[in-house]
Amino acid sequence: MRALPFRRRAIGAGLVAVALSAGLAGCASSQGGTGGGAAKGTYTIWDPYPQFDNSSAWVQLLNKCGTSAGVTVKRTGYDTSDLTNKALLASQQGNAPDVLIVDNPVVSTLAEGGVLTTTADTKIDTSSIEPNLLAAGQSGGKTYGIPIGANTLALYYNKAVLKAANVDIASVKDWNSLTAALAKVNEAGKKGITFSGIGTEEGSFQFLPWFWGSGAQLTKLDSPAAMSALSLWTDWVKKGYAPNSVINNTQTTSWQEFATGKFAFAENGTWQVANAKKAGFEYGIIPIPAMNGGTAPAPTGGEFVTVPVQKQTDRYATSEKLVTCLTSADNSYTTDTTLSYVAPTDAVQAKQVAATPDLKVWVDAVHAAKGRTSDNLGTKYPKISQPMWTAMQAALSGSKSPQAALTAAQSTAAAATK
């Protein structure tokens, strides 16, 4: 999720199905790690960072890790959705890459499809990884990779807009105080909050902090808590605290609204930090508040480094060396800084905050975050997410009440996840 950073880092591009086309087959069969005849001493790595060319620090790191492991690395960068399709197809053909870096919600899909080894198979050490981040790569009690880093959501705020409305940001601690702040901003003739409520996984991603912050669970979309979360959003739109555009906003267009300098708040992610510094006004960041106070669990974005199943199992020892190198403390700091990620370990997070104190709020948000496929949802998650974003759209457009929209969503999700 990065050229639009969210594209891969935040949402997993919809957990796509396999596209069985001749062109795909031809491309996948020429890139694999085993059956396609990868040369002796050559290990293939596929990643979702096509924006990085061979001169980039990322590709140089891959080559460095290959040299350390005594092999040559052949790297290919794909768009996220394309990568998932190619990985599934290459596995079917016995031609999977040796190392595969994928958006975290895709891990359970690939694991269920028999594409990935477990960390127990490959002896990859995950002991230093934050449990809530590691959970995004777990299914059925097994771990299928290691996170390279994480991002999540928080609230950016415009200091000048809040000052003009006489709002003290320290007073914003829960939903009631946030809504009260929006009311004061509205009364002062300013704009309140912008977010992405689009009818895609991107919208679900942005809704989840409010959904989880209400105490709701994804297995019960029509709970009273869930209805309170959707009512919060719809009430903001009805009262003019949020613009009607949120129903079509991506995270990029929502950010563009905030960047005009007219809004008090914007829900967005770590990937906008560099843009915030260029916005031309003073800003701050606070965690998204839970309904009754504290930090709401926001969904984690970011990729996992995984090892696909190989016919030649003796390749796993070298693959483990490559993965360990890529995710080591020293390399993790450099990589996560490049990718605007919070590192997945306490030690590297501390180093990041020491270098950039503004990252402290993001580290706190990541500590409270959770994976969308966590709670052992795995491949059930996209079957729940789609009805959820459909309900969001219905409620925000006014075609259904939050209760009616979520009741329909729960019925659809329950039928799909039986």
Structure confidence by residue, pLDDT tens digits, 75-131: 999 987 789 889 999 999 999 999 999 999 999 999 999 999 999 999 999 999 999
Task: Please write the tens of the pLDDT for every residue from 28-61.
Answer: 223 344 433 444 599 999 999 998 999 999 999 9
Q: How far, in Å, CA of 268 to CA of 275, rounded?
A: 11
182 in the Ramachandran plot: left (φ > 0), alpha (ψ -120 to 50) or beta? alpha
What architecture is domain 6-150+302-363?
3-Layer(aba) Sandwich (3.40)
| Predicted confidence band of residue 2 (pLDDT cuts 50, 70, 90) | very low
Pairing outcome for strands 142-143 and 146-147: unpaired
Express as a percent the part of the chain with pLDDT over 70.
Answer: 90
Measured distance CA(249)–CA(243) in Å, rounded: 10
Report the C-alpha gap between 354 and 379 in whole angstroms. 38
Pairwise CA distance, residues 304 & 39, whole Å: 26
d(CA 372, CA 12): 10
Distance separating alpha carbons of residues 92 and 412, to the nearest angstrom: 31
The contacts of residue 274 (CB under 8 Å, 6+ apart) are 340
Can you point out the beta strands (E) in 33-81? Answer: 42-47, 72-77
- Three-state secondary structure readout of 211-224: HHHCCCCCCCCCCH
| Nearest in space to 245 (alpha carbons), one of 256, 259, 261 | 256
pTM: 0.84
CATH 3.40.190.10 fits 153-298+377-416, yes or no: yes
What stretch(es) of the chain map to CATH 3.40.190.10? Answer: 6-150+302-363, 153-298+377-416
The rounded distance, in Å, linking the Cα atoms of 290 and 296 is: 4
